[in-house]
Amino acid sequence: VESEARLVPLLTKGHTSVARVTDDWYVACRSRDLGKTPLAATILGLPLVVYRQANGAPAALLDRCPHRNVPLSIGCVKGDHLECAYHGWQLDREGTVKVVPGLAGPHEARGRRVESFACREQDGLVWIYLTPDEEPKREPFAFTWARDRSYTTVYQRLRAVGTLHATAENALDVPHTAFLHRGLFRKDKPERQRIDVVVKRWHDRVEAEYVGEARPTGLVGKILAPRGGTVKHFDRFFLPGIVQVEYALGASHFIASAALTPVSDFETDLHAVISFKLPIPGFLLVPFLRPIALRIFGQDARVLALQADTIKRFGGEQYMSTDVDVVGNHILRLLRDAERGPRKPRESVEEPVEKRLTMLV
């Protein structure tokens, strides 16, 4: 009994970093996955239906027929309208009821509508602005390198069981690579190299620049830069959930970005877009690198799921951080601020908050 009493204060409930940023863009699906049939997508727990209008442009509505609450995603597209599978009501892109089959008189459309969401299609992805019935305040993130023909670009969709924050931090976290991905990416060596890190945070993004880092040891480093050398390395996070890792060495350039879509509080989809220009041709490298990348992701996914599970079992998070948790706390802060209120436009010029630190890699 006594030991139980001593345990209780340890199990205090922390809060969980489930930030719900709704006035921004998230990837619903890949362009090529959206054909003639409507698709169901869930973002931050919100059920949505995505479909293509007659001109091919994507559209999104709340996935609930206003008549009897059947999911509209089981319906079909009729010209510019979405037709419900149950009684055939037809809705337009704004979510207004346009056709009620069998109704003899004219129907009063006013008030009979469902929430509608702005859509964009770019870089092979379909984006949804998560605040309904509103003009977007900004444009979706642009995967600039994927548009450059001199780069090889690979796409991969992945699912992590973890919050958006935990998943984003994991993608940009350096210290875990020597342990969780031992040998694949970095090694835990007795002799570590001292490097400087410059962290800059703007209102909508954070960037960590690792200065003077030697090519990562381990298999991936050897493939990317067989002759070794000093790499330029940046890790970045952009609101509401873009992670980016950039490596440059001589003429080689490797830039892996992922758009994170929070499906629910503890499920996050990653739409990874990896672009690179290397001495070895891309088509030779991709079949070799993909299984390694998937193996690395499998190790991350396993640890994220266990992290989420532990957070749930303890009823909340309790983090202890140090300087080498370079961007995690900044990501959390950006998400919390964005959740609370409106943001400046992405293009706005401002001096970043800057911090310099030293770490051993």
Rounded to an integer, what distance in angstroms lies between the CA atom of residue 298 and that of residue 156? 13
Q: For residue 271, how far is the Cα from the chain centroid?
A: 7
Q: Report DSSP letters for 290-335, one per residue.
A: HHHHHHHHHHHHHHHHHHHHHHHHTTS------TTSTTHHHHHHHH
**Partner from Fe ion, ligand FES, none contacting 138, C-beta within 5 to 8 A by type:** none
Please check whether residue 146 is in contact with residue 273, taking contact to mean a CB–CB distance below 8 angstroms: yes
Binding mask 287-316 for ligand FES (x = CB under 6 A): ------------------------------
Amino acid found at 38:
P
**65 is a contact residue toward ligand FES (CB under 6 A):** yes
**Partner from ligand FES, Fe ion, none contacting 213, C-beta within 5 to 8 A by type:** none
Rounded to an integer, what distance in angstroms lies between the CA atom of residue 279 and that of residue 288? 15
Find the binder of ligand FES among 35, 54, 57, 68 (CB under 6 A): 68
Q: In angstroms, what is the minimal distance from the CB of 171 to Fe ion?
A: 7
Rounded to an integer, what distance in angstroms lies between the CA atom of residue 238 and that of residue 259? 9
Residue closer to ligand FES (CB basis): 94 or 188:
94
List Cβ neighbours of 7 (8 Å cut-off, separation of 6 or more): none
Residue closer to ligand FES (CB basis): 85 or 296:
85
Strand partners, 243: 237, 258
Is-cis flag, bond preceding 291, omega within 30? no
Please check whether residue 297 is in contact with residue 154, taking contact to mean a CB–CB distance below 8 angstroms: no
Radius of gyration of the chain (CA): 23
Residue closer to Fe ion (CB basis): 186 or 343:
186
Amino acid found at 329:
N
The footprint of Fe ion (CB under 5 A) covers 300
Binding mask 77-106 for ligand FES (x = CB under 6 A): -------x-xx-x-----------------
Q: In angstroms, what is the minimal distance from the CB of 303 to Fe ion?
A: 8
**334 is a contact residue toward ligand FES (CB under 6 A):** no
Of the listed pieces 16-24, 60-68, 166-174, 191-199, which binds ligand FES according to CB under 6 A? 60-68
In a 10 Å sphere around its CB, with 0-12 CB exposed, 13-18 middle and 19+ buried, how is residue 5 labelled?
exposed
- Of 283, 257, 250, 279, give the one whose Cα is nearest residue 152: 283
Q: In angstroms, what is the minimal distance from the CB of 67 to ligand FES?
A: 3
Binding-site size, ligand FES (CB under 6 A)? 8
Rounded to an integer, what distance in angstroms lies between the CA atom of residue 117 and that of residue 135? 9
Of the listed pieces 61-69, 197-205, 215-223, 334-342, which binds ligand FES according to CB under 6 A? 61-69
Find the binder of ligand FES among 40, 70, 180, 245 (CB under 6 A): 70
Q: In angstroms, what is the minimal distance from the CB of 296 to Fe ion?
A: 6
Strand partners, 262: 268
**Partner from Fe ion, ligand FES, none contacting 68, C-beta within 5 to 8 A by type:** ligand FES
Q: In angstroms, what is the minimal distance from the CB of 314 to ligand FES?
A: 42
**Partner from ligand FES, Fe ion, none contacting 300, C-beta within 5 to 8 A by type:** Fe ion
**Partner from ligand FES, Fe ion, none contacting 87, C-beta within 5 to 8 A by type:** ligand FES
Find the binder of ligand FES among 20, 30, 67, 176 (CB under 6 A): 67
Amino acid found at 71:
P
Q: Which residues bind ligand FES (CB under 6 A)?
A: 65, 67-68, 70, 84, 86-87, 89
